[in-house]
Structure 1
Amino acid sequence: MQTRKSMESSIPYVVLGLIYAFLLCLSWTPDTIRMMFTSQYWLPELPGIAKMFSSEMTLALAWIHLLAVDLFAVRQVFNEGLENEVETRHSVSLCLLFCPIGIVTHVVTKALTKSAQSY
């Protein structure tokens, strides 16, 4: 029951969003924008991206971004597992380690569960 309540809460996303917005405001300067969008087409280029990721602030932003995406994926997998009565413990764990693998595992588990239930 406690897990279900914590998965329904939007507080983690609000907190991560506020932290992300705060760090984003601190990290983006006119130099940052110039560094990222140096081409005539206003597209990021590899040297600018590499220079950005040498900054601790950019790495913190990337970490928070990945954490929020992973948490969102875990929430979706968990809720879908409850709705469809599919085991999700392994998929949730894999989502927290490497999100795409966890999602694929969940899709496979869901398909196997449906095919087993149809027999």
Structure 2
Amino acid sequence: MLFLIVLLLDITGLTSSQIASSVFTLGTAAVLPFYTLMVVAPKAEVTRKSMESSIPYIVLGLLYAFLLYLSWTPDTMRLMFASQYWLPELPGIAKMFSNEMTLASAWIHLLAVDLFAARQVFNDGLENEVETRHSVSLCLLFCPIGIATHCITKALTKGSGTTTHDM
């Protein structure tokens, strides 16, 4: 499937900048319905089914693999692991991220990880009857802060002896 996408884009003659921009926009738009469902209709059947699905992660994974393939150069390994200890170094990574294709692939990677974390927060909130709308929203914007907010909310909710049923 990935081969067909590469072939199609090669036939259409898009530049790497256009490909990166298109996939960046596509990936960003693709996750928004899932966040919307978790925030607007957390107890709906469609939300439950969409949160059980692996399809968003497969699609984001394919987009990520596609961009990674396009961004890979013979110098990639040398730039990433320039030290004698084979550890990444900041100057090499900074040079790699000057490429739009690499930036777009990193963005898709972040979208996938953030959506996965938001789903975990959402499911944990349902299981423990804790409000998650604010935490899920923060996962979209600042994932670690969203996770921390959920942990704080969960601790405060359990500590007060009440739970919020009105998700």
Give the distance between the partners of 2:111 and 2:78, measured in 1 at CA: 28
**Which residue does 2:119 correspond to in 1?**
75
Corresponding letter in the other structure for 1:54:
S
**Which residue does 2:72 correspond to in 1?**
28
- More displaced stretch, 105-114 vs 36-45: 36-45
Describe how 1:1-119 pairs up with structure 2 within 5 A: 1=44, 2-117=46-161
**Structure showing greater relative contact order (alpha-carbon pairs closer than 8 Å, 6 or more residues apart):** 2
Mark the runs of 5 or more structure 2 residues left unpaired by the alignment.
1-43, 163-167
Q: Let me know the Cα RMSD of the aligned residues.
A: 1.3
Corresponding letter in the other structure for 2:86:
W
| TM-score normalised by length of structure 1 | 0.92
Give the distance between the partners of 1:66 and 1:51, measured in 2 at CA: 19
Alpha-carbon shift at residue 113 of structure 1 (Å): 1.0
Runs of 4+ in structure 1 over 6 Å off: none
Q: Deviations over 1:24-64 (max 9, x none)?
A: 12222212222222332222222211110100011011100
| TM-score normalised by length of structure 2 | 0.67
Mark the runs of 5 or more structure 1 residues left unpaired by the alignment.
none
Q: Deviations over 1:64-95 (max 9, x none)?
A: 01101110010000000000000001110111
Percent of paired sites with the same residue: 84
